[in-house]
Amino acid sequence: MNAAVTAGAGRFAPSPSGDLHVGNLRTALLAWLFARSTGRRFLLRIEDLDRVRAGAEHRQLADLASLGLAWDSEVVHQSARLDRYLGAVEDLRGRGLVYECYCTRREILHAPSAPHAPQGAYPGTCRNLDEAERAQRRKVRPAALRLRADTGRFTVRDQLHGNYTGTVDDMVLLRNDGVPAYNLAVVVDDTAQGVDQVVRGDDLLSSAPRQAYLAGLLGHPAPRYAHVPLVLNSQGRRLAKRDGAVTLAELGHRGLDPAAVRDALLTSLGLPAGLPEAALPAFDPASLPRQPWIYHGELTGDGGAHAGARHGS
């Protein structure tokens, strides 16, 4: 279902902490289909500010290519873009929108929350400390930097979920070890790369209001969101190694080649098997399954969507 060509881009942005499993690959395939069906570029970004496992990025890129997913431009690494993140923090700081925070995760978890705020939302403990109080706390613990948000709720439009209103708290911008926080890096990168379409797992839907709000503060429009269903195990949890053969390498050991995995993933989305380009004419976001794909065991190459897998109810 092709649309007019647009100047924007979609993206897939894995963390190089391990091999991609079938859930990650299914999301990457969807991100590619959303981008290409709307004439957008498709970009890859490696989110390597945290844990990096040797060789993981190489295997991830090889797996994506083996499914027939091609990307535009060079792969971007967050670790090479620190100046951009620090510049965004200084922009916000210059407008009085940044403050120091000395709270531990445990303190935040057990602190009284604002009415209707989810557990773990920052309650503003350090928001109004005076300079003497900050100086005293710096002696005990290095400061993280938080955004001084002026709203507690924000609404985004999602292509699959409609209008979604979620919590906006005083999110961390820089951790107390100086590493840029996820929400900041994602917003800065999407803007810098011209990403105006974000397709990712629906477990990240709750982060979209924070990110869209932050984008607005930095003077940029929010992207077009589409949060897609995950692949879950038989207990309704995210896939892990204990769920059997879940990566391309593991499935390969069981005799399943990447083309068969790709075909199974496409079939699970109600799309024809074959190269991803061949699925584009049939791709329609409105027809996508809205429930998670429940994975009970290894995929098979018998032309069906899966063995022991089904969509959740």
Known binder of ligand: residue 105? no
For the chain, what is the radius of gyration of the CA atoms? 21
Q: Which residues of 79-107 are buried (b: 16+ CB within 10 A; e: fewer)?
A: eebeebbbebbeebeeeebbbbbbbeeee
Return the CATH fold of 9-80+229-311. Rossmann fold (3.40.50)
> pLDDT tens for residues 99-108?
999 999 888 8
Q: Are β-strands 41-46 and 9-12 bridged in parallel, bridged antiparallel, or unpaired?
A: parallel
Calculate helix-pair angle for 208-217, 182-192, nearest 10 degrees. Answer: 60
Task: Tell me the C-alpha to C-alpha distance, in Å, between residue 134 and each of 95, 164, 286.
Answer: 19, 36, 51
Q: Which residues are paired to 272 by β-bridges?
A: none
**Residue 313: pLDDT above 60?**
no
pLDDT number for residue 111: 77
- pTM listed for this prediction: 0.90
3-state helix, strand, coil in the chain (%, to 5): 35, 20, 45
pLDDT number for residue 33: 98
302 vs 121 pLDDT, higher one: 121
**Can you tell me the distance from the alpha carbon of 198 to that of 47, in angstroms, rounded to the nearest whole number?**
15
Number of alpha carbons in the 13 Å side-chain half-sphere of residue 302: 8
Residue ranges per structural domain of the chain = 9-80+229-311, 82-227
% of the chain residues with pLDDT over 90: 80
Known binder of ligand: residue 139? no
pLDDT number for residue 108: 84
**Band (118; pLDDT cuts 50, 70, 90):** low
> pLDDT tens for residues 50-77?
989 999 999 999 999 999 999 999 999 9
pLDDT (mean) for 123-147: 94
9-80+229-311 and 82-227 share one CATH topology? yes
Known binder of ligand: residue 112? no
Residue 238 DSSP class: B
Known binder of ligand: residue 137? no
Task: Tell me the C-alpha to C-alpha distance, in Å, between residue 171 and each of 103, 147, 183, 292.
Answer: 12, 6, 8, 29
From the candidates 138, 237, 241, 290, which is the catalytic residue? Answer: 241
* Catalytic residue list contains 241: yes
**Can you tell me the distance from the alpha carbon of 112 to that of 93, in angstroms, rounded to the nearest whole number?**
27
Tell me the one-letter amino acid at 91: D
**Residue 116: pLDDT above 80?**
no
Q: Does domain 82-227 bear CATH number 3.40.50.620? A: yes
